[in-house]
Structure 1
Amino acid sequence: MSLPRLSSRVWKDGSVVAESVSLETLSDELSNDQTLCWYDLAAPNHEDIDILADELHLDFHTVEDAEAPGERPKVTRYPDHLFLTTYAAVIGETDDPNSRLVVSRLSVWVFAHGVVSVHRDDVPEIADVLKRLDANPDLVSNGPMGIVHAILDVLVDGHFDTVQHIDDVVEDVEDQLFDDSIDTQQVQFRVYRLRKELVQFRRIVLPMREIVSTISRPSREVVAVPRVLEPYFNDLYDHSMRVSEWSDSLRDLVATIFETNLSIQDAKLNIVMKKLAGWAAIIAVPTLITGWFGQNVPFLGDGRPLGLWISIALIVVSSVVLYLIFRKEDWI
């Protein structure tokens, strides 16, 4: 049974010697100490994963992790191979109207002479990995960890682009906070969406530094980072730390924006309440006067037209005086 959307590549001494590896010969390629191969499988179903697991005798725990939905990012060492789960995250169009973050999981098995990667979704970064490997023969000439570095480096670069985009959106939302021409509900929706995207994004980037740190740690297992690639992984760890810290700072900033927006709304509500209180006081005076003169008691001008003009004058004068006082105090 042929596997869908299969791509592969074989290197020898840093040069590409083949761009197609069949599943039937994959185990032989992975055991060949003269070559290095990368086997990438996109959008597999359950049967495809089982075929791959049987061919390579994969640990059933790693197979479950590759198939289970929502598996957390992690790295696990085994005596003869290394298994890691990581995610690509970009801003795009999703089915969720409240989040634009598109997340794609990548499961990777690393053997002594090759790498096997599986992803259910389309991961455009895979093409970038191949370009990076072609541009840096030193990576593949130093074993499978060179491929792993290229994969993680491309993913972290994608995380950088994503957090930069979110940062730009946060700045735009900050500018809208004090713009009276912008709909308040629009600002609230954008802040809510940013909070949700950052929560999703943080779940991906925080474990990345632990993944890089675990891979870089010296090990006596078959799969380990060669000394020549240690500076590469140290630089990758630094980049993953920067993305993680950047996402944390943006999360705090969005929380501050959310609280500031609430404070602005409270301030606007207080202004409205002050104006309503001012107008209520102005309206209360004529009500008091007309109610008083409506009582059955003698008053100046009682029973004559003069009484009407006196009451009108009192209403106008008192209302104008209150209006000027409230206007001076910026109540209305």
Structure 2
Amino acid sequence: MHTRLYRNGVLEKEGFPIEEVSDYVRDPDNTVWFDLCSPSPHELGLIGEELGLHELAVQDVLGDHQRPKVDVYDNHLFITVYGVHFHDETLDPVEINVFVTKNALVTVRENDHFDIGEVVRRWDAAARLATRGVTFLLYGLLDAVVDAQFDLVQDLDGQAEALEEALFEEQLRSGRELQRRMYVLRKNTTRVRKIMMPMRELVGTLLRRDQDIIDDGVMAPYYQDVYDHVLRATEWIDSIRDMLANVRETRLAQQGFRLNEIMKRVTSWAAIIAVPTAISGFYGQNVPYPGSGETWGFWTSSVLVAVTSVGLYVVFKKKDWL
């Protein structure tokens, strides 16, 4: 069980059943965290009744994918963020819903593709801040989510720079590998931007709102650090989009230049072929020629036409003109 109990900033218990949470949250000196992974509507309903969660917030968890946001209710906050996860080279974000009360933090994960253990390790590494209660736990969660997104943006930037260099590599110019990589990278970048752009408003709201849960002078600089990371990542993702747009334009220009080269070569071949065609067509082969009037002459000319056509096809195919 992913559960923890802090009392006056000291970790006292973990791994206990969720059924015991209601007993612990009654004591204001306690801070409780527990995690739910793909819970059923019935389980969420019970948790909502125990903690007094707003029905609209519970419905948002059960509904379709939400936009990253923070909703402020009378006795709790409802936050939606996304962890990063890849499936077959494609980004598949993991929705994480968070309920924040005065002394309880509830994380609801869409699936187990988000490593909640990394969040726990961050809490343990900064145990000195545990006295700040729920504010500290929420900071550790947001910090882990934003850092993972930041690392992903950094990786996407490296892939975009590699694409720029690959534009002029002959082995990729002549195939479809570059186009596939461009498509995957543009798709992942678009998805990252969708889950990162609202994070500026989300973290900014936590810093601006006059809430007893978040308004903590000690933790404010830590939340500001998360906000700075979000700003850097969103600005970086916009620069990556511009870079990909330039790569796409350059690729299209290269294809145009390549098509012009092919057309010049094909025109040259057509001119070479047109010369004997024009001559033979002008004379109509009315003068005697080897095999004239003979069956073997007809077959010889037919085979010659076929071999010449196949030879030209092989040459064009080898040069990637067809």
Same fold (TM > 0.5): yes
Pairing 1:213–2:208 present: no
Q: How many residues align?
A: 290
What is the CA-CA distance between 1:227 and the residue it aligns to? 0.9
Secondary structure of 2:219's counterpart equals: helix
Pairing 1:190–2:184 present: no
- Name the residue aligned to 1:111: 101
Question: What is the alpha-carbon distance in structure 1 between the residues aligned to residue 270 and residue 209 of structure 2?
Answer: 76
- Name the residue aligned to 2:83: 88
- Name the residue aligned to 1:252: 242
Q: Which runs of 5+ in 2 are unaligned?
A: 290-322
- Name the residue aligned to 1:316: none
- Name the residue aligned to 2:90: 100
Amino acid at match of 1:187: L
- Name the residue aligned to 2:110: 120
User: Which one of the candidate residues 287, 296, 302 is aligned to 2:277?
Assistant: 287
Secondary structure of 2:176's counterpart equals: helix
- Name the residue aligned to 2:217: 227
Secondary structure of 2:170's counterpart equals: coil
What is the CA-CA distance between 1:247 and the residue it aligns to? 1.2
TM-score (normalizing by structure 2): 0.83
Map 1:316-327 to 2 at 5 A: none
What is the CA-CA distance between 1:303 and the residue it aligns to? 8.9
Pairing 1:26–2:15 present: no
Q: Percent identity?
A: 36
What is the CA-CA distance between 1:111 and the residue it aligns to? 0.8
Amino acid at match of 1:185: R
What is the CA-CA distance between 1:273 and the residue it aligns to? 0.2
Q: Deviations over 1:133-192 (max 9, x none)?
A: 111123321121111111000001100121122222222222221112225311111111
Pairing 1:239–2:229 present: yes
What is the CA-CA distance between 1:281 and the residue it aligns to? 2.3
- Name the residue aligned to 1:317: none
What is the CA-CA distance between 1:197 and the residue it aligns to? 1.0
Amino acid at match of 2:9: G
What is the CA-CA distance between 1:224 and the residue it aligns to? 2.3
| 1:125–1:155 contact (8 Å) kept in structure 2 | no
| 1:75–1:84 contact (8 Å) kept in structure 2 | yes
- Name the residue aligned to 1:15: 10
Secondary structure of 1:51's counterpart equals: helix
Pairing 1:72–2:81 present: no
**Which stretch shifts more, 77-86 or 248-257?**
248-257
Pairing 1:146–2:142 present: no
What is the CA-CA distance between 1:246 and the residue it aligns to? 1.2
Question: What is the alpha-carbon distance in structure 2 between the residues aligned to residue 9 and residue 102 of structure 1?
Answer: 29
Map 1:252-271 to 2 at 5 A: 252-271=242-261
What is the CA-CA distance between 1:14 and the residue it aligns to? 2.2
Pairing 1:170–2:168 present: no
Map 1:290-301 to 2 at 5 A: 290-294=280-284
Amino acid at match of 1:207: P
C-alpha change, 1:55 and 1:290, in structure 2 (3 Å) is same
| 1:8–1:21 contact (8 Å) kept in structure 2 | yes
What is the CA-CA distance between 1:270 and the residue it aligns to? 0.7
- Name the residue aligned to 1:204: 195
Question: What is the alpha-carbon distance in structure 2 between the residues aligned to residue 139 and residue 40 of structure 1?
Answer: 21
Question: What is the alpha-carbon distance in structure 1 between the residues aligned to residue 60 and residue 175 of structure 2?
Answer: 43
- Name the residue aligned to 1:318: none
What is the CA-CA distance between 1:58 and the residue it aligns to? 1.3
Amino acid at match of 1:23: I
RMSD: 2.3
Secondary structure of 2:34's counterpart equals: strand
Question: What is the alpha-carbon distance in structure 2 between the residues aligned to residue 252 and residue 172 of structure 1?
Answer: 15
Q: Deviations over 1:68-94 (max 9, x none)?
A: 12111110111211110010013x324
C-alpha change, 1:222 and 1:29, in structure 2 (3 Å) is farther
- Name the residue aligned to 2:293: none
C-alpha change, 1:51 and 1:295, in structure 2 (3 Å) is same
Amino acid at match of 2:155: H
Question: What is the alpha-carbon distance in structure 2 between the residues aligned to residue 290 and residue 19 of structure 1?
Answer: 94
What is the CA-CA distance between 1:226 and the residue it aligns to? 0.2
Q: Which runs of 5+ in 1 are unaligned?
A: 1-5, 297-301, 305-332
